[in-house]
Structure 1
Amino acid sequence: MEAQVLAVLRSASGPATAGWVQERLDGDLAYTTVITILSRLHVKKAVTRTREGRSYTWTSAADEAGLAALRMRRVLDGERDRGAVLARFVSALSPGDEERLRALLADASAPDDPPETPGADAPGSGPRDPGPRETEGQ
């Protein structure tokens, strides 16, 4: 149900009320059930809410992949030996998923920009290979 609610919120052109979400969901969910789902998603940081009068408007803060990631994080947070859980998780991955995870970790740890060298952009500054030495008259 959470994924369906998120999908409806993502289809909105802006913040949506719980009633608007309820109207667009398949099935006959009670308004209170929609509010409960939205409130749980808010606790999980998958949606944001803004007070509008006496109620809230809701906006999706996560897609389905983000919601799955939040669930994985919650499971990890509930374990005492995070290292063991992560090691078992990685060892259970398919080779393709492991390669994908390694690439994501490498991208996440790579600096956005190379470290700056003072004066590196100034003309004639910084180390430079002068090439063959020229002599006058050649």
Structure 2
Amino acid sequence: MRRLGELEATVMDVLWRGSEPMLVREVLQEIAKERDLAYTTVMTVLDNLYRKEWVVREMEGRAYRYRAITSREESTAQALRDVLDSASDPESVLLHFAQSVSEEESDILSRALRRKQRKR
């Protein structure tokens, strides 16, 4: 999975926060609360995200509605998977990561691993 540029990440944040597929102007309205961008810039970014398979779109009238293909959590998990897959020593990466987690995060991981073991 390709990494997102700064503007792509901003647009994806808007889509992930939204509960419904969004028009370009709706995405722009959300972004305009913090920065000034042209409509065509947002439209280009959404088109790029579509080509990169981060979003899907459906025609509504003469405009597209866009939505994220995966949730923020799924995308983040895939990014972690990509890091492990590209590491020359994934065990070492996991061990370093395990040392950095909080007690609450450690509990979450432990519960998830126990559930995984029970499914086998």
Tell me the TM-score normalised to structure 1 length: 0.55
The CA distance in 2 between the partners of 1:67 and 1:89, in whole Å, is: 18
> Which residue of structure 1 lines up, in the alignment, with residue 11 of structure 2?
5
1:84 counterpart = 2:99: no
Q: 1:95 to 1:48 in 2, by over 3 A?
A: same
Q: Distance in 1 between matches of 2:119 and 2:25?
A: 44
Please tell me whether the aligned partners of residues 57 and 65 of structure 2 are also in contact (alpha carbons under 8 angstroms): yes
Q: Partners of 1:101 and 1:42 in 2: how far apart?
A: 34
Gap change, CA 1:28 and 1:51, over 3 Å in 2? same
Q: After the TM superposition, which residues 47-126 of structure 1 pair with which residues of structure 2 at under 5 Å, given as runs? A: 47-52=54-59, 56-60=64-68, 61-63=70-72, 65-111=73-119
What is the TM-score of this pair, normalised by structure 2? 0.60
CA shift for structure 1 position 95: 3.1
* Other-structure match for 1:17: 23
Q: Quote the RMSD (CA, aligned, Å).
A: 3.4
The amino acid that maps onto 1:103 is R
Opposite residue 50 of structure 1, the aligned amino acid is: R
In the other structure, the counterpart of 1:36 is 45
Partner Cα separation in structure 2 for residue 74 and residue 92 of structure 1 = 19
- Structure possessing the higher relative contact order (Cα contacts under 8 Å, 6 or more residues apart): 2
Identify unmatched segments of 5+ residues in structure 1: 113-138
Aligned-partner Cα distance in 2 for 1:41–1:109: 37
Structure having the higher helix fraction is 2
Amino acid at match of 2:38: A
CA distance in 2, matches of 1:72, 1:38: 25
Q: In 1, distance between residues paired with 2:46 and 2:84?
A: 22
> What is the aligned residue count?
108
**Secondary structure, aligned partner of 1:110:** helix
CA-CA distance at 1:49 after TM superposition:
0.9
